[in-house]
Structure 1
Amino acid sequence: MRSDLFEYFRPDDDEFEELWRGAVVVPDANVLLNLFRYSRKLSEELIRLFESISDKIWIPHQVAYELLKNQHKVHVSMDAIYDKISGICRDVLQNTNSQLEEFKKEYRQHPSINFDEYKIEFENAISVVKNKLEITRKDHPSDEEYRLIVHRVSDLFSGQVGPAFSSQELEAHKVTVKSRYDNKIPPGYADAAKEDGGIGDFLIWLQILKYAKDNSKNIIFITEDIKEDWWLRVSGRTIGPRPELRREFYEQTGRKFYMYTLVRWLERARQQGEGAISEASVAEARAQFNADVAESEREALSSVRQNLNWINHYRHIASTRRMPDLIERYNEISTSISNIDDVLQAVIKNKTSSELNLSTFEDIFKSRLKLERELLKIRKEMDQLQHSSSSDLPDPYPVIARWRDDVIRSEEKD
């Protein structure tokens, strides 16, 4: 069974040893972009670790493209956060001082509160935060160091970047990716809503497949992408790489494929004695990963809630389109019942009981009863539509919140 359905089995110790001994390491673009987010120490240690295995490291052309395309955005965003926090400190202090001055004017003779002392305390507290911010800023890579990181990464992968697809190949892959994503075939379908159709991950996958086949190499892929189109999840737990990926890789290349998050790969590298990565750096990478997971949770939650809002929106539209028809029919039936009652009252008033045709009255009453039943049915549907358009759907957060530890727990035994 294991040989036939290997993709559902965790590699044993010998298989892991074989992977670590001979596999080519392929970092994703998100891993390399984190070099701009990490502290100076972690960035330096990670680059040195990559340099120590330069003979067995490679990246697809799509990874190189995404790295260079997004480097400046990451760089600017990392610098901008310091200015944003500094601005928050300034605004908080100004707002606090302003309100304290107002309180001071209004309660000048307060027996217990010295507003000037509180003002000094607030200023000191903000000063502590700003000083700590500046210390942190100095520890972050400078503009020159950013440029140096780009050059070192460029040198690291010199001659180790795969070729780009031709325009004809790219057009063909766009057709293929739509079919795959429609059928939830990994990887990449979780990004299908992106402006470019989320084709990036699929192109990376195709280029990895081609490289492994042409060079007869096993692959270890390192990614910070935690979505389900890369990882197999069961009951809130991440088991490992999607079995479909391992199977497709083997069928296309005859070789083996495995995946790690950066944190887990660093831990494994320390165990294998590859490079010099400190425990402090691993801890920093883990903290950054946890923060990224938390952000992914918030984005996913926001996306789900947006979808739920659209569901409620279209439900409301459906109800508002249906409601006028129901109201019109309701009024028609009410008028008919009222007319029947008027006729019956007039007949009873103007004729004696001996002149009344009981059979006719029975037919009229049956018709009236039928209309009342239809009226009740319409009223019930109107109530349901009104309730449906205003009700809240369940909050999806309890399900999404489990994602935080998914990938961290996924490879505890690897």
Structure 2
Amino acid sequence: MQAFTPLRTKVDTNTALVVLDTNVLLAPYKTSATALNEIRRIYTQLRSEKRLVIPAQVAREFGRNRPNLVASLYKQVVDFRTLAINGRYEPPPVLQELPEHKKAREALDKMQEALKTFRSSLDALANTVAQWQHTDPVLDVYERLFDGSVVHELAIPAEEVEKMRKDRYEAKLPPGYKDKGKDDGGIGDLLIWLTLKQVARQRELDVLFVTEDAKEDWFHRAGDTPVFPRHELALEFAEHVYGRAFGQTNLSDFLRTFGAKEEVVAEVRENERDPFTQGARAVQRRILNHIASVATPDDHFARQVRVPHFSFSYASDNAVCGAIVVEDGYSSTELQTRINRAVLHGREMKVSEFVVVLAVDGEYVAHLSRFAEMLSFADSAILVHGWETGFVTFLNTAKHPTLRRAFEVNTSF
């Protein structure tokens, strides 16, 4: 009978509690100072109205993840310093008295001087970011706003929560069961869900949950697109909170609803559309540059294409190569699911070569044989690993000659 139960589906955004997910708290590390100011303004307004809620689990997850984001920012600045200008400009002596040569020489000298200034400025910037261990512009905003009136701890004993987790995930009752392969059993989303229900019941208010999580244990989906919250969540929430409504939205739509500047909404939306982390973007540049260094003019591997489920894809006239970039944070179960989905979907999209890039230097490397087994059902596969110290190819069954040359087994680049 629950399938026919009428539910209030429209959240009253004028009175609803606004609950923030971890990925939303981390989002300003990818945005401009203008966007951060708008976010601060809206959060301040909601706090003054006693409508801003952060589950304690979200606060803990933010605390764990923030140092990694700051370290990533530091690395980006340091990587930019490697920008170089080839200072070797030695034309034949017969040309050195020509005015065109003298002009070119003067221009090169100016470029080299500007490069010194550029690198010196980046050193200062890197030193500033390195001081952000305990403070940074985003954290400064949060520390002023997020006190005990905003952060809420779950008032259910841990053993009871663990029993609920096992029972719910066994029955695939959302949210959180998609994360059950994680080291903590995927309990994070359940803690957040239980906390937001707890606070909503105490206040007898609707909830608008702001999250960038679009997995199927939060949303009903059409292909890769989240459409609306799972019916089970809305029903459970209404039963627990006196018929109140539960809604979900991403950060950009939330900002628009609460009156953020349109340019800020556009900036945040662009970040949401971007499938890459900064680390994955750097891996993409490195891989494509490496392929270009060994490709012949006939290969045309510079032409990028978009294929769902892959971090990035590129094509020649007779091959499409899809690459999956794996960074820290994936469990082996999540990784296997991602590889399987990409390979199966890739076949439908005529992807002929599969590359899995383990952009890590740690624990994954000890299990390369397992990852090779995951790729065993792909017709053509490449497995490379490493990051800080460069990449090394572990497996290469590629058919395309350029990819065979670029990713020779045991060769580093």
Q: TM-score w.r.t. structure 2 length? A: 0.58
More strand by share: 2
- Looking at structure 1, the residues matched to 109 and 5 of structure 2 have their Cα atoms a distance apart, in angstroms, of 66
Deviation at 1:200, TM superposition (A): 0.8
Question: Which residue of 280, 283, 286 maps to 2:269?
Answer: 286
Identity %: 25
- Identify unmatched segments of 5+ residues in structure 1: 271-276, 317-388, 394-414
- Identify unmatched segments of 5+ residues in structure 2: 96-100, 281-308, 312-322, 327-334, 344-368, 382-413
Within a 5 Å distance, the mapping from 1:10-409 to structure 2 comes to 11=9, 15-16=10-11, 19-54=12-47, 55=49, 56-86=51-81, 88-89=82-83, 93=85, 120=108, 127=115, 143=132, 146-147=135-136, 149-158=138-147, 159-165=149-155, 169-254=157-242, 255-270=244-259, 277-292=260-275, 298=311, 303=335, 304=337, 306-307=339-340, 313=373, 391=379
Greater RCO, 1 or 2 (C-alpha within 8 Å, sep 6+): 1
Deviation at 1:24, TM superposition (A): 0.6
Deviations 1:162-190 (A, max 9, x none): 12456xx2233223223323333221222
Rg larger in structure? 1
- Looking at structure 2, the residues matched to 287 and 29 of structure 1 have their Cα atoms a distance apart, in angstroms, of 19
More helix by share: 1
Q: Is the 8 A contact 1:26 1:219 kept in 2?
A: yes
Q: 1:207 to 1:52 in 2, by over 3 A?
A: same
Q: Is the 8 A contact 2:208 2:247 kept in 1?
A: yes
Deviation at 1:305, TM superposition (A): 5.9
- Looking at structure 1, the residues matched to 258 and 374 of structure 2 have their Cα atoms a distance apart, in angstroms, of 52
Deviation at 1:258, TM superposition (A): 0.1
Deviations 1:277-306 (A, max 9, x none): 222222221122222567685397753464
For 1:59, what is the secondary structure of its paired residue?
strand
Q: Is the 8 A contact 2:18 2:208 kept in 1?
A: yes
- Looking at structure 1, the residues matched to 15 and 324 of structure 2 have their Cα atoms a distance apart, in angstroms, of 37
Q: 1:27 to 1:121 in 2, by over 3 A?
A: farther
Q: 1:313 to 1:250 in 2, by over 3 A?
A: same
For 2:72, what is the secondary structure of its paired residue?
helix
- Looking at structure 2, the residues matched to 177 and 33 of structure 1 have their Cα atoms a distance apart, in angstroms, of 26
Deviation at 1:33, TM superposition (A): 1.9
Q: TM-score w.r.t. structure 1 length? A: 0.57
Deviation at 1:23, TM superposition (A): 0.5
Deviation at 1:38, TM superposition (A): 2.2
For 1:20, what is the secondary structure of its paired residue?
coil
> What residue number does 2:390 align with?
none
Deviations 1:218-260 (A, max 9, x none): 1001011222221211234321112221111112222210011
For 2:161, what is the secondary structure of its paired residue?
helix
> What residue number does 1:336 align with?
none
> What residue number does 1:4 align with?
4
Q: 1:27 to 1:314 in 2, by over 3 A?
A: closer
Q: Which amino acid aligns with 2:172?
A: K
> What residue number does 1:373 align with?
none
Q: 1:21 to 1:297 in 2, by over 3 A?
A: farther
Q: Is the 8 A contact 2:214 2:226 kept in 1?
A: no
Q: 1:291 to 1:109 in 2, by over 3 A?
A: farther
Query: Please, what is the CA RMSD of the aligned residues?
Result: 4.5
Q: Is the 8 A contact 2:220 2:227 kept in 1?
A: yes
Q: Is the 8 A contact 1:36 1:146 kept in 2?
A: no
Deviation at 1:202, TM superposition (A): 0.9
- Looking at structure 2, the residues matched to 130 and 225 of structure 1 have their Cα atoms a distance apart, in angstroms, of 38
For 1:229, what is the secondary structure of its paired residue?
coil
Q: 1:130 to 1:161 in 2, by over 3 A?
A: same
- Looking at structure 2, the residues matched to 76 and 312 of structure 1 have their Cα atoms a distance apart, in angstroms, of 30
